[in-house]
């Protein structure tokens, strides 16, 4: 079955870039039947979908309006993984970040990565 | 954006109780509604998809119902491992949005 393994730093300085990676096993990042997502969770904002990348003969991205000017989600076909970059972070970006698979047919998030607590602080 | 409102935000119950959690969407989402369970320090885990379909491996004491704007998650007989926080999530359109959560605590 599909498994997701997250990696990346847990501490980022204000104004810098948050970067996380999600390694996929059991499926291909180029699969036509899923989308690859980033979601974050904080006490103030709850569970917040940030965006996704997916392949349907070519690559597509969708991003939440709240982060659209600062976010990039990229697939890496050579390593079968995808990444999150969030620029110009502030303390309000402190959260647990999850990667998650979105099933195209049944329209749910499953499975999820293990989560990474990212703290924005100097 | 579609707003998802859960009630109550928390509840206390005993083992064996029947528990019902409600989720309301700000507009009709047909049956594009999922339920997740989250335990402390863990990622959310899918329980119910498409409003009423039980995910493989999830105990049958969990059930979901509803369509349009009003949905419910029911636990027919609460077990010790069910004490957790539950979230609804709409998959009708982007941005995909979640409810604020319902924390089920031991009475």
Three-state secondary structure along chain B?
Answer: CCCEEEECCEEEECCCCCEEEEEEECCCCCCCEEEEEECCCCCCEEEEECCCEECCCCCCCEEEEEECCEEEEEECCCCHHHCCEEEEEECCCCCCEECCCEEEEEC
By Cβ distance, the residue of B42, B50, B98 closest to A47 is B98
Q: What is the pLDDT of residues A74-92, one digit of tens each?
A: 999 999 999 999 999 999 9
Is it the case that residue B46 has pLDDT exceeding 90? yes
Q: Which of A2, A110, A114, A115 to mutate: most B Cβ within 10 Å?
A: A110
By Cβ distance, the residue of B42, B49, B87 closest to A47 is B87
Is it the case that residue B106 has pLDDT exceeding 90? no
Q: What is the pLDDT of residues B51-72, one digit of tens each?
A: 999 999 999 999 999 999 999 9
Per-residue pLDDT at A37: 98
Q: Mean pLDDT across chain A, nearest whole number?
A: 97
CA distance B25 to chain A (A): 16
Q: Which of A109, A113, A116 to mutate: most B Cβ within 10 Å?
A: A109
Is it the case that residue A45 has pLDDT exceeding 90? yes
pLDDT-derived band at B43 (thresholds 50, 70, 90) equals: very high
Average pLDDT over residues A64-69: 97
Per-residue pLDDT at B104: 98
Average pLDDT over residues B74-89: 97
Q: What is the pLDDT of residues B10-21, one digit of tens each?
A: 999 999 999 999
Check CB contact under 8 Å for B44 and A47.
yes
pLDDT-derived band at B107 (thresholds 50, 70, 90) equals: confident
Is it the case that residue A27 has pLDDT exceeding 90? yes
Size of interface A-B (CB pairs under 8 A): 51
């Amino acid at each position: 079955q599909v498994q997701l393994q997250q990696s990346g730093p847990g501490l980022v300085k204000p104004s810098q870039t948050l970067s996380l990676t999600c390694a996929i096993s059991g499926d291909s990042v180029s699969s036509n039947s899923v989308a690859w997502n980033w979601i974050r969770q904080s006490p103030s904002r709850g569970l917040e979908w940030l965006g996704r990348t997916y392949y349907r003969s070519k690559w597509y991205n969708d991003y939440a309006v709240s982060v659209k000017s600062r976010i990039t989600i990229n697939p890496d076909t050579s390593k079968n993984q995808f990444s999150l970059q969030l620029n110009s972070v502030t303390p309000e970006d402190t959260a647990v970040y999850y990667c998650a698979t979105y099933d195209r047919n049944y329209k749910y998030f499953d499975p999820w990565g293990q989560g990474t607590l990212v703290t924005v602080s100097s | 954006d579609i707003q998802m409102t859960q009630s109550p935000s928390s509840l206390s119950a005993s083992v064996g109780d029947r528990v019902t959690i409600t989720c309301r969407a700000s507009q009709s989402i047909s049956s594009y509604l999922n339920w997740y369970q989250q335990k402390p320090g863990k990622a959310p885990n899918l329980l119910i998809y498409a409003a009423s379909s039980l995910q493989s491996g999830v105990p049958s004491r969990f059930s979901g119902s509803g369509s349009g704007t009003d949905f419910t998650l029911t636990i027919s007989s609460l077990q010790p491992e069910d004490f957790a926080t539950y979230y609804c999530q709409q998959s009708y359109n982007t941005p995909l949005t979640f409810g604020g959560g319902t924390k089920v605590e031991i009475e």
